[in-house]
Amino acid sequence: MNKLTLALLPTGIRKMERWSAEAGKNIFIKRDDQTGSEWSGNKIRKLEFVAKDALDKGCNLLITCGGIQSNHCRATVAVATYLGMKSAVLLRISETPQVEGNYFLDKLLGADVRFCNREEYSNHRAQIMQEMADGYARQGYRPYIIPEGASFGVGTQGYYYAMKEIAAQEEELGVTFDTVVVATGSGGTAAGLQLSNIINGYGKNVFGVCVCDDEAYFRKICLKCSKDCLPYLIKSGEISRDKAEKTAASLKEEDFSFIEGYVGRGYALSAPEELEHIKRLAQMEATVFDPVYTGKATFGMVNEMKRGGRLESARNILFIHTGGLYGLFPVSREFVF
């Protein structure tokens, strides 16, 4: 594996006893929110590969983008600073932001910050990041641009190997997870999990819960991330060229499954019932989910299980807690106690 060792791995797996009893299914949680502190969450698994690639290419500046409370940006800034690199983030805003949560940490950890509005972010973020990179290059930096969420071929390796970690933990725990569920925001996490599931023949159902966009959108992204990941798996000796070619030829959009219908009021916007759900699980399981990703995803799980949706036949479910805690504090005032 061509990566740095930064995350605290393997992350633990624990059964959520009370939630399981209530749901009538075995629900386990994998604590990828505990991969570290400054770089806590799922993104560090991707960044271990991405930062190594950047260093191998002689780069000394990481540039990436996200929403104002992006966990990915905060983790990228932390990694860059740790490695003695410079960092710059393009953050999407709709109003002048409070210096809090992940944005506060971006500043604290030393990032250069550039803002853009929703339209610029949706339609021109790659171009803006390129302009930023060109500006830094003129100052003598060697920039490396990481696409949104590190959801590209290099980053997809992170959850390819996380799925192998899960398979090893199944042996230790004596449990087989028939279903793996994860929040989906830019697609690379779900892509890596399912690519590994297919290549290694684990036979699990992997579901991303959309916290923005929809299944059709994420299927396209996951197919691209997975295909683009294959050359890296060949390079590191994980799979043969022949296996990669066969996988590339057979992979299709329908191999990737998503649970839709839980975006709620929109990306990063919370509804009262979602916050009530976060509070209820916090008090039931002493486990805190975030409002943007894991709160919506577990809210989706609860509802899918209730209405006999896509989790109906699931028995042993592993939910990957992908972090996001710092994003909870900026919405603390929206909770009702």
Catalytic residue among 70, 151, 226, 270: 70
We find the least distance from the C-beta atom of residue 323 to ligand PLP, in angstroms, to be 4
Which of 125-133, 172-180, 241-249, 287-295 is the region at the interface with ligand PLP (rule: CB under 6 A)? 287-295
CB 6 within 8 A of CB 39: yes
- Structural tokens at position 60: 């000394």
Counting residues that bind ligand PLP (by CB under 6 A) gives 20
Residue type for position 165: E
For residue 65, list its beta bridge partners. Answer: 90
Site for ligand PLP in 49-78 (CB under 6 A): 71-72
* Three-state DSSP state, 264: coil
187 sits near ligand PLP (criterion: CB under 6 A): yes
As measured in angstroms, the least distance from the Cβ of 109 to ligand PLP is: 16
Report d(CA 215, CA 264) in Å as an integer.
15
Q: What whole-number distance in Å separates Cα of residue 118 and Cα of residue 120?
A: 6
Instruction: Answer yes or no: are the C-beta atoms of 71 and 183 closer than 8 Å.
Output: no
Q: Which of residues 304-333 bind ligand PLP (CB under 6 A)?
A: 322-324
- Minimum distance from CB of 202 to ligand PLP (Å)? 19
DSSP string of 86-131, one letter each residue? EEEEEEE-SSPPPS-HHHHHHHHTT-EEEEE-HHHHHHHHHHHHHH
Q: Is 290 in the site for ligand PLP (CB under 6 A)?
A: yes
- Touching ligand PLP, residues 144-163 (CB under 6 A): 149, 151
Place of tokens 């830094």: 136
> Is residue 42 a contact residue for ligand PLP (CB under 6 A)?
yes
**Pair 322, 293: CB distance under 8 Å:** yes
Q: Which stretch binds ligand PLP (CB under 6 A): 6-14, 86-94, 178-186, 246-254?
A: 178-186
Clarify whether 87 is annotated catalytic.
no
Name which of 27 and 136 has its Cβ closer to ligand PLP. Answer: 27
Name the β-bridge partners of 26.
316
| Beta carbon of residue 101, minimum distance to ligand PLP (angstroms, whole number) | 12
- Regarding 40 and contact with ligand PLP (CB under 6 A), the answer is no
Nearer to ligand PLP, 290 or 304 (CB): 290
Within 13 Å, how many C-alpha atoms sit on residue 73's CB side? 29
* Tally of CB atoms within 10 A around 134: 10
Q: Is 102 in the site for ligand PLP (CB under 6 A)?
A: no
Please give the positions annotated as active site: 70
**Which parts of this chain interact with ligand PLP (CB under 6 A)?**
41-42, 71-72, 149, 151, 183-190, 290, 293-294, 322-324
